[in-house]
Chain A
Amino acid sequence: MRFAEERDSSLSRKKSQKSFEIQGILISQGGVNKTSLSVPGLKMEKYILIDHTADIGIDVYGASLQELFTNAAFALFDIITDLSKVEGKVEYKISISGIDKEQLLVNWLNELLYLHDVKNLLFHDFCIVDITDNQLDAVVRGDVMEEDKHVIKTEIKAVTYHCLSVVRENDCWKARVIFDL
């Protein structure tokens, strides 16, 4: 382990400043409960937040499995940050597998969460190139987090398997996912 010479350097200053900011400036509070998506001939919500005592859950919708997974990823980052501040400067290719659709969805979202956590990335654009019940290939775009630009509204620890479902209802795909906060 190495120690730098000055112990309370840049971190101290930045954080002190931030602490005062929160008292005066209204930072976005995650007011997006419903986000609409227009599909030709069909108008449906991308996702709805569901109340869960300790954590947070989403009901996600999509006209296809591909759209369902795209919307689930959108919901994840819409909860984490203010997506209007994300431009899409970096691009990642992702390949994920799972034993079924449900596990594939959890693995997909946990993969994005892992990249967010380790590389400080915020994603806003999800292009699923190919998807089956057990496998997906995607190209995702986002930005590396900048302290002065991006806001973290909620830290999501993990995507759980609790109450997990992926079902098709009348030509529409619906999934329920609970996040651990």
Chain B
Amino acid sequence: MADDKYKIQKIDDYRWRIPREGKMRVDGIVYADEQMLKEIQKDESLQQVINVAHLPGIVRHSLGMPDIHWGYGFPIGGVAAFDADEGVVSPGGVGYDINCGVRLLRTGLYHTEISHKMESLVNTLFANIPSGVGSHRKDLKLSHQDEKNVLRDGARWAVSQGYGTKEDLEHIEEQGCIPGADPELVSDRALERGRTQLGTLGSGNHFVEVGYVSEVYDEEIARVLGLIRDGITIVVHTGSRGLGYQVCDDSIRIMINASRKYNIELPDRQLCCAPISSPEGREYLAAMAGAANYAFANRQMITHWVRESFESALHIGPKESQISLIYDVCHNIAKFEEHIVEGEQKRLCVHRKGATRAFPPNHPHTPDTYKSVGQPVLIPGDMGRCSYVLVGTEKAYADTFGSTCHGAGRVMSRNQAVKASKGRSIAQELKEKGILVRADSRATLDEEIPEAYKNVTEVVNVVEHAGIGKKIAQLKPLCVIKG
């Protein structure tokens, strides 16, 4: 298939190359099937893959995952790795919602056991977990020093305060704490925004979803992950809230000047960046790590309230609910990792914006529990369809810096979605499909209608065929709370 605008070359059924030209430093490579590629070309995301390929120190390729769509600066579903010595770091390559991510919990409960209590469960979750603009737990008061500890220690801080267990920490990317965070490099404004928002879900596409294992594709690996057919699961999707947005905005202002200072030519101002080794680059990474740790703590606290909600709504104790953390992944992050580039081991700063780390079996960063099977990867779909659990592969490690997709990816703008849902009750439609939804605003539901997203099954199938993730199980939603 040829395309005039982008000179796309087919590599195989699931990979497409945008050859380097002009000031591009590397080729772009996009993972998609032919039909999906046609959809992708309807917006500007391929131009964004090209723009990222212009940045100094980019290694191997500028990558687009199959859920790629038009973002700001970097595409959403974009992966780019930069040489730690010669490359740059870009706040726009991480995004405003630093360490937006998902975590997957398993339970000892079965679908049939609790289906009649779903109404009570969704109401309890909605009451206990603050969602929507301005909401927060009235019983949580964070001092200035507490907040700095959150930024430094991440999920470890939350566990030290009684939110969850030490075992939880083993099952979080980076054990829930990215090293090198410096709270002193986070502005007072960011801290101010963060103080009342810790332990809140936020709005937009963030959610807590209770579902069940509807399909198992690999019994053996599913067993290692603790996933049993019809077993109840919970997915938590949120990030670093206003603190992260402010860290990103503060950093972009600095990086716009830094790009000029270091003579970095930018195809889009949102791609502003600084050398990783420069003071601006180092300071951004230390502030970003703080925001990422805040997000880990946020998801950890929400997990605690999920546990409490199950126990109070179902009148059971922790021994019966048996809620344990399978894994927690970041999907907006820049991290230092070791990868093999042209036969040489190199230290790279891997930017994943709307992309998930997918490390293979036996990688040192894959937790001990999952050493034999690979790092769990969670791919949430839209509210009405399903989500997938995958594991990382050697091929992902070799070809995509150990990365894969992060979700379904939007196909409809929010405005189109609101128009498409006019005159409909989305909550009622979902209820008829057996899915209870509670949301802080009706607009959120309208914007997040299932058809606003690509079919996650198609996205995950591309991932599987391309070998950058192995499909283990499918989860179907039973109830969802949204901001």
- Please report A residues at the B interface, Cβ cutoff 8 Å: 1-4, 6-13, 15-16, 18-19, 22-23, 26-31, 33, 49, 51-56, 99, 102-103, 107, 110, 114, 117-118, 120, 145, 147, 151-155, 157-164, 178, 180-181
Residues of B within 8 A of A110 (CB): 249
Given contacts A103-B256, A155-B483, contact A180 B96 (CB under 8 A): yes
Residues of B within 8 A of A30 (CB): 415, 418, 443
Min CB distance B117 to A, Å, is 16
B447 proximal to A (CB < 8 A): yes
Q: Looking at the complex, which one of A8, A117, A155 makes contact with B204 (CB distance below 8 Å)?
A: A155
Min CB distance A85 to B, Å, is 14
Instruction: Tell me whether A54 and B71 are in contact (CB under 8 A).
Output: yes
Name B316-369 residues within 8 Å CB distance of A. none
Instruction: Tell me whether B415 and A51 are in contact (CB under 8 A).
Output: yes
Report Cα–Cα, A19/B134, bound state, in Å.
16
Min CB distance B259 to A, Å, is 11
Min CB distance A142 to B, Å, is 14
Task: For A3, give the chain B residue with the smallest CB separation.
Answer: B139
Task: For A103, give the chain B residue with the smallest CB separation.
Answer: B256
Name B109-159 residues within 8 Å CB distance of A. 123, 126-128, 130, 132-135, 137-143, 146
Residues of A within 8 A of B137 (CB): 11
Output the residue of A1, A31, A33, A178 with the most chain B CB within 10 A: A1
Min CB distance A135 to B, Å, is 15
Task: For B202, give the chain A residue with the smallest CB separation.
Answer: A155
B12 proximal to A (CB < 8 A): no
Residues of A within 8 A of B96 (CB): 157-158, 160, 180
Instruction: Tell me whether B134 and A56 are in contact (CB under 8 A).
Output: no
Report Cα–Cα, A178/B76, bound state, in Å.
15
Show 22 A/B contacts (Cβ-Cβ < 8 Å), sorted by A.
A1-B141, A11-B135, A13-B127, A22-B440, A23-B428, A27-B442, A27-B443, A29-B442, A31-B418, A33-B415, A54-B413, A55-B72, A56-B413, A102-B269, A114-B246, A118-B242, A152-B440, A154-B447, A157-B96, A159-B249, A160-B73, A162-B268
Chain B 268-300 per-residue mask, 1 if CB under 8 angstroms from chain A, else 0: 111010000000000000000000000000000
Report Cα–Cα, A8/B313, bound state, in Å.
13
Q: Looking at the complex, which one of A12, A18, A54, A154 makes contact with B443 (CB distance below 8 Å)?
A: A154
Min CB distance B436 to A, Å, is 10
Instruction: Tell me whether B427 and A15 are in contact (CB under 8 A).
Output: no
Output the residue of B411, B414, B445 with the most chain A CB within 10 A: B414
Instruction: Tell me whether B410 and A54 are in contact (CB under 8 A).
Output: yes
Instruction: Tell me whether A19 and B128 are in contact (CB under 8 A).
Output: no
B257 proximal to A (CB < 8 A): yes
Report Cα–Cα, A148/B269, bound state, in Å.
40
Report Cα–Cα, A102/B253, bound state, in Å.
12
Name B65-80 residues within 8 Å CB distance of A. 69-73, 76
Min CB distance A9 to B, Å, is 6
Q: Looking at the complex, which one of A2, A114, A152 makes contact with B203 (CB distance below 8 Å)?
A: A152
Min CB distance B214 to A, Å, is 26
Q: Looking at the complex, which one of B192, B269, B415, B441 makes contact with A161 (CB distance below 8 Å)?
A: B269
Residues of A within 8 A of B71 (CB): 54-55, 162
Name B217-269 residues within 8 Å CB distance of A. 242, 245-246, 248-249, 252-253, 256-257, 268-269
Instruction: Tell me whether B141 and A2 are in contact (CB under 8 A).
Output: yes
- Beyond the given A16-B126, A180-B95, please list 18 additional residue pairs across the A-B interface where CB-CB is below 8 A: A1-B143, A1-B161, A8-B127, A11-B137, A18-B440, A19-B123, A23-B425, A31-B418, A53-B69, A99-B256, A118-B193, A120-B134, A157-B204, A161-B268, A161-B270, A161-B272, A162-B92, A181-B414
Instruction: Tell me whether B140 and A1 are in contact (CB under 8 A).
Output: yes
Instruction: Tell me whether A16 and B270 are in contact (CB under 8 A).
Output: no
Min CB distance B424 to A, Å, is 11
B438 proximal to A (CB < 8 A): yes
Instruction: Tell me whether A145 and B134 are in contact (CB under 8 A).
Output: yes
Residues of B within 8 A of A11 (CB): 127, 130, 135, 137-138
Min CB distance B53 to A, Å, is 17
